[in-house]
Amino acid sequence: MKHMMLILATLILLHNATALLRHENTGVRTYRLRTRRCAVNPSSTTGRSIPAVPSLPFIGSLPIIGLGKAAGIGPPPHVQMAQLSRIYGEVMQVRMGRDPWIVLSSPRAVHEAFVTKGGDFGGRPMVPSMSISSGGGKGFARPQPNPELKKLRRTAFTALFDPTRVRRSEEAFADETALLAEYLVGESERNGSAEIRPAVRRAVINCVLRYAFSTRIPHRAGEIGVVPGGNSDRNPPQGYFDELVHVTDKIWALLTSTQTTMADLLATPDVNSYELRRLVRRRDQIIRGIVAHRQRQRRKDGDTHLRGEHGDMLDALLGAGLPDTDVHYTLVDLFVAGVNTVSTQIEWFLLLLAEKPSVQNRARGDVSSRPDD
């Protein structure tokens, strides 16, 4: 589990161009990309045109893939996308409203677009709601690659993922996984059952908080909230982080609502936009407060924690000499895009594991055979 969470957390920080097809509590495997350039089909090097799903003026292919969910009929979009990929291939063009999107529905296609041809496909879809959340496309959420994004990527590969920080992250994720298991077992013993979804989500949030700020939020009262050996004296009061998580939850609920999605794709007014802007303003105030507090402490301490074993993501970003805007929106990316996607995938991982007892037994045996566990 700890290796899986580390890999997923790493992917989130580097997912600059990718986002899971917007959904609610589903295990989508299809990625989306909006770009002006055509992808090369992985089965060919001729650069032939991409197969396109039929579309209509203004509304594009939404009647085929999107309106079913909005009206409560038909399969959800991720299922329909998978079915369409069997007809049009693993790389296909879909008009989401007026805009052409390229949908990649296989690991091979995703690897080609975002690794082999990452320079061509380094942008990110900038629908109206995401533009509000990302400050018009800042941090990793830039619509097109530019020198600032390249510098941010270099920071991610060097300062954020150096061996010391990766080792510390593995230890923190393993600790958080153990606390999650302890909580679920305790809840089952006390109440006869445990709600897995909110517990998994809290564990993922804590992994993000520990990586970014060296803090965490307890599963229940009485559980330790401060990370041992962390930066508790270099963070503002815990209430900042409690509210940050609460506000981020509300923002994500609006971003992924069917109403917001349809307004984004059809370029129509969205009644949620006022509330979204209000929440984004509050989120930004909280993050700026956290960053400002850390900057003051770093000046007081002479930046010693950046090079020490307790330096976290915020220390690395501040020490890399990035503009304040990049520091801010990199943290925004981590919280807005980094929690639900990971927690949803872990939910699916647990569900599929529960359906395959033989795999579950092998995993249990592998863990039990390790001396350190």
Rounded Cα distance, 10 and 206, in Å: 15
SS3 content of the chain, % helix, strand, coil (to 5): 60, 5, 35
Q: In this structure, what DSSP letter does residue 192 have?
A: S
User: Which amino acid is it at 106?
Assistant: S
Q: Report pTM.
A: 0.72
The contacts of residue 145 (CB under 8 Å, 6+ apart) are: 119, 122, 123
What integer pLDDT is reported at residue 35 of this predicted model? 36
pLDDT per residue as tens digits for the range 43-95? 444 456 889 999 888 888 888 876 555 556 667 777 888 889 999 999 999 88
pLDDT per residue as tens digits for the range 179-223? 998 999 999 999 988 888 889 999 999 999 998 998 999 887 656
pLDDT per residue as tens digits for the range 9-41? 333 332 322 233 333 333 333 334 433 333 333
What integer pLDDT is reported at residue 281 of this predicted model? 94
- H or E element that contains 251: helix 238-255
CA angle 250, 256, 266 (to 5 degrees): 130
pLDDT per residue as tens digits for the range 144-154? 666 776 777 67
What integer pLDDT is reported at residue 272 of this predicted model? 74
Which band of pLDDT confidence, cut at 50, 70 and 90, is reported for residue 240? Answer: very high
What integer pLDDT is reported at residue 119 of this predicted model? 66
Sheet holding 91-96, edge to edge: 31-33, 99-104, 91-96
Within 10 Å of residue 153's Cβ, how many Cβ atoms? 17
What integer pLDDT is reported at residue 70 of this predicted model? 57
What integer pLDDT is reported at residue 304 of this predicted model? 52
Which band of pLDDT confidence, cut at 50, 70 and 90, is reported for residue 42? Answer: very low
Give burial (CB, 10 Å; 0-12/13-18/19+) of 64.
buried
Which band of pLDDT confidence, cut at 50, 70 and 90, is reported for residue 321? Answer: confident
Average pLDDT, the chain: 76
- For the chain, give the percent of residues with pLDDT over 70: 71
Nearest to 334 by CA among 227, 210, 243: 210
